[in-house]
Structure 1
């Protein structure tokens, strides 16, 4: 699922799986001779080690245990903590009599070393310095209700740090959706196979830092259980964009043409044009409404700006370009419609964003191409799919796959844990921050993608790299100046440093 990327990369990206695949890996591991309870002990030990590493001086913990293996992990962790001299408050959402198999053995193990077991009750005091969430695992299929909902709300209201075992309770392992209510963890330790739902949608707000522990299981060896996605990694930046040859010239670095900036909407197109230039395009042209020409010349004189009263004035510009970026500030009126129509009529690769996407949904329906990147946010994705943004967010991976199936090419579904889907499969971006919730961020991404395509990267690699650079640049900017007040225009200079070898350490 990695196209021509793995021919270049010296390592494999981390695979991501659905919950049922991880359960099958668990089953096969046990069938292959590993005792199920021993596997549970490995998981609990990994979680306990992470807890002690991050909170080394704690004296008291609270462990909330549900039923099944997730609760069993919690019971074993409680026993390990007690053995290390830590006071343990162990709270059960399922009575011991209701537990079976390894979960029952785990509960008995904790009891045998003297850890008391309290039944959950509304309003009880959580006495630990750290809470361990072992309530609900990856098998949750519907909205959290009853005592489990109350317990999760109590955890969140406590203000205490939380270690989630395998997944924060209430988070959907396959989609990243919050099922009514979910634990807000400080850290999450997940096992055997990493889950896609830990990295997109609501997950970044709920998981804290995710630590993956395979427990001796090599998921990649099971060819009949292909991962549903891969997790992008910043160490690929110099692999995908190595240093240039010393005799490089601008003609070999490609020509980006930005079509945007309808009358009254010039800023977005300027942002996209600057981003394309900063990401290394040899030449950048901007076709925009005449009223924006002077602003472009002042803001970024390196961009070759052309005032366009209408599409007839485009002339040979589209044919001269390597790639067209259409959408930033495009508008949905006659000017924007004509520009998009001209872009679609050509044979050049396209990056379609913003109102370009809205026009595809409303006036240019039925389009499908192999040579474009579409970059919708959830609202635009919903319009393209004929559903609501909430329905897109309820299952982001499914929405992204459906967009790519219908429209072809490569699709970037933006948002927390942006998804990139193309013929080679799906990738998830683990970078980015809430400071990106401001105007113009998508325009900057569109310009970056255009620049990478212009420099010769194939579409899917350009999309993966561009999304990652965009998010990492925002993380660097937030690290230096904070998240609030982060502007789209701040990203271009940070992105430039990121894509040049030897630019210094990256911020995780």
Structure 2
């Protein structure tokens, strides 16, 4: 699981942007070899913090600047009295520029440098094979070297990025190193936080290598990483606050056999501060709804005609949790789609949207998981996961809406091209009902007059961090477990009273 540090910046960059940053730092007067030395020292400090009792290091080195970092780490470890071996997967004769200088420094430190010939890996293994420049799938001999690292059973530290992981998308390019620790430099890469990254990156440590902040600020940010210091703000409530000031949310869903989804969305809406909440669901579910939350106005509806009267006073609609794809759900969705209200669409509402049977109202939010996103875009799930940022932006543009692409490293996109990422979460969140909770959170924030994009960003962050906290207890997480934690987090970070 990837953990953010308190001092992580919120800017995420593509590999090309980080290379441009590196070039501009050099042009401004910092020699490239000095930057490489700073990177090696940063990695060496991180290794010693993580494994203070280790005394043995094996560096797997390629041919570019990533290998240069590895050679300098080897020299530092050797001078500290460690037993060090560099296994050169790339031809040392092909090293040039700063990487050649790093190789020569390792030689001067009397580091044992050998060609890689499937030797056993010992001690801490340093992945200095490929770095951020990889485009296509990993090829021989690097694919075999990555396999050897992953099969070694040794602790692994990746330099800048696990080899084989796409710096721009987090996609595994054929195969990728599974690191316990990744030390990354200058600018945080998008691919460290989404896609396959959480399985490959391990603990992430960032060092800006003392880069000039003015130069960093000149580079446009590709994606904003959501954190406590940059979240959209809910205004504190005045002492004279009353329920009419904070919106009325109508939750529409819960066909026969799926009533729980609508109840979860309703409860999270109620607990996140909506002034009034109404649930429109199958009449068979009303008793359960009243028993669970008597504060909610629960209405049994059998047809779209009965829904119109409930839509009229609503300021925001949450549509789709447990809606089903039969006639009942389709008729209710059609009525909602024709209402000029801000809406959050999830689950079966998205499946109907993908067929073209309905149109999404303005000022809305969609919250697809990768499978739903694939249906909405007319591609397969693998293509969505191969470039999650591009998929999120494509959905926002296609439907002229705010899109939350759920999954590891959830993304929020708007039609203007803005993109935000939440890097919290936990594997225990792999259970049913969490999306229903999220839709309710976002709907409640929109009802409190948050713009759709801001509500989605704050809602996704609250949901992900609550899942991370609840997941600390291990397997068996239930979606309802998140709701009180989300409420607590909202109050901690954005108090009701100023």
Place the TM-score, normalised by the shorter chain, in its bin. over 0.9
Q: Does 1:213 align with 2:207?
A: yes
Give per-residue Cα distances to partners, 1:316-345, cap 9 Å, x unaligned: 211211100001001112111111111111
Counterpart of 1:125?
Answer: 120
Counterpart of 1:496?
Answer: 487
Choose from 13, 16, 21 the match for 1:17.
13
Choose from 135, 147, 158 the match for 1:153.
147
Give per-residue Cα distances to partners, 1:419-450, cap 9 Å, x unaligned: 00113610110101111111111011001100
Give per-residue Cα distances to partners, 1:369-410, cap 9 Å, x unaligned: 540001000100000000000110011111111111111121
Counterpart of 2:340?
Answer: 347
Count of equivalent residues: 488
Give per-residue Cα distances to partners, 1:288-307, cap 9 Å, x unaligned: 01111111112222221100
1:125 is paired with a residue of what secondary structure?
coil
TM superposition shift of 1:351? 0.2
Q: Tell me if the contact between 2:427 and 2:471 (Cα under 8 Å) persists in the aligned partners.
A: no
Question: How far, CA to CA, are the matches of 1:416 and 1:76 in structure 2?
Answer: 34
- Return the TM-score normalized by structure 1: 0.93
Question: How far, CA to CA, are the matches of 1:359 and 1:224 in structure 2?
Answer: 43
Q: Does 1:198 align with 2:189?
A: no
Choose from 457, 478, 488 the match for 1:487.
478
2:244 is paired with a residue of what secondary structure?
helix
Choose from 393, 401, 407 the match for 2:393.
401
Q: How does 1:220-369 map to 2 (within 5 A)?
A: 221=215, 225-236=219-230, 240-241=233-234, 243-364=236-357, 367=359, 369=361
TM superposition shift of 1:502? 7.5
Choose from 50, 53, 77 the match for 1:54.
50
TM superposition shift of 1:228? 0.9
Counterpart of 1:141?
Answer: 135
TM superposition shift of 1:364? 2.5
Q: Does 1:377 align with 2:369?
A: yes
Question: How far, CA to CA, are the matches of 1:242 and 1:406 in structure 2?
Answer: 32
Q: Tell me if the contact between 2:228 and 2:493 (Cα under 8 Å) persists in the aligned partners.
A: no
Give per-residue Cα distances to partners, 1:119-170, cap 9 Å, x unaligned: 1112x21111x21111111010111121211111111112222111100011
Structure 2 vs 1, CA of residues 175 and 216 (structure 1 numbering), >3 Å: closer, same or farther?
same
Question: How far, CA to CA, are the matches of 1:381 and 1:45 in structure 2?
Answer: 42
TM superposition shift of 1:31? 1.7
Unaligned stretches of 5+ residues in structure 2: 1-6
Structure 2 vs 1, CA of residues 418 and 102 (structure 1 numbering), >3 Å: closer, same or farther?
same
Structure 2 vs 1, CA of residues 494 and 16 (structure 1 numbering), >3 Å: closer, same or farther?
same
2:492 is paired with a residue of what secondary structure?
coil
Q: Does 1:37 align with 2:37?
A: no
2:46 is paired with a residue of what secondary structure?
helix
Question: How far, CA to CA, are the matches of 1:29 and 1:498 in structure 2?
Answer: 39
Q: Does 1:416 align with 2:411?
A: no
Question: How far, CA to CA, are the matches of 1:503 and 1:429 in structure 2?
Answer: 18
Q: Does 1:26 align with 2:22?
A: yes
Q: What is the Cα-based RMSD across aligned positions, in Å?
A: 1.9
Give per-residue Cα distances to partners, 1:88-114, cap 9 Å, x unaligned: 121111121111111111111101111
Q: Tell me if the contact between 1:369 and 1:407 (Cα under 8 Å) persists in the aligned partners.
A: no
Counterpart of 1:4?
Answer: none
Structure 2 vs 1, CA of residues 474 and 150 (structure 1 numbering), >3 Å: closer, same or farther?
same
Choose from 178, 185, 188 the match for 1:184.
178
TM superposition shift of 1:455? 1.1
Q: Tell me if the contact between 2:68 and 2:102 (Cα under 8 Å) persists in the aligned partners.
A: yes
TM superposition shift of 1:279? 1.0
Question: How far, CA to CA, are the matches of 1:264 and 1:502 in structure 2?
Answer: 37
Question: How far, CA to CA, are the matches of 1:118 and 1:473 in structure 2?
Answer: 48
Counterpart of 2:424?
Answer: 431
Question: How far, CA to CA, are the matches of 1:375 and 1:127 in structure 2?
Answer: 46
Question: How far, CA to CA, are the matches of 1:119 and 1:48 in structure 2?
Answer: 23
Counterpart of 2:4?
Answer: none
Q: Tell me if the contact between 1:13 and 1:230 (Cα under 8 Å) persists in the aligned partners.
A: no
TM superposition shift of 1:485? 0.9
1:240 is paired with a residue of what secondary structure?
coil
Structure 2 vs 1, CA of residues 220 and 373 (structure 1 numbering), >3 Å: closer, same or farther?
farther
Question: How far, CA to CA, are the matches of 1:399 and 1:93 in structure 2?
Answer: 35
Question: How far, CA to CA, are the matches of 1:343 and 1:442 in structure 2?
Answer: 20
Question: How far, CA to CA, are the matches of 1:18 and 1:424 in structure 2?
Answer: 15
1:89 is paired with a residue of what secondary structure?
strand
TM superposition shift of 1:255? 1.2
Unaligned stretches of 5+ residues in structure 1: 1-10
Which stretch shows the higher mean deviation, 495-504 or 413-422? 495-504
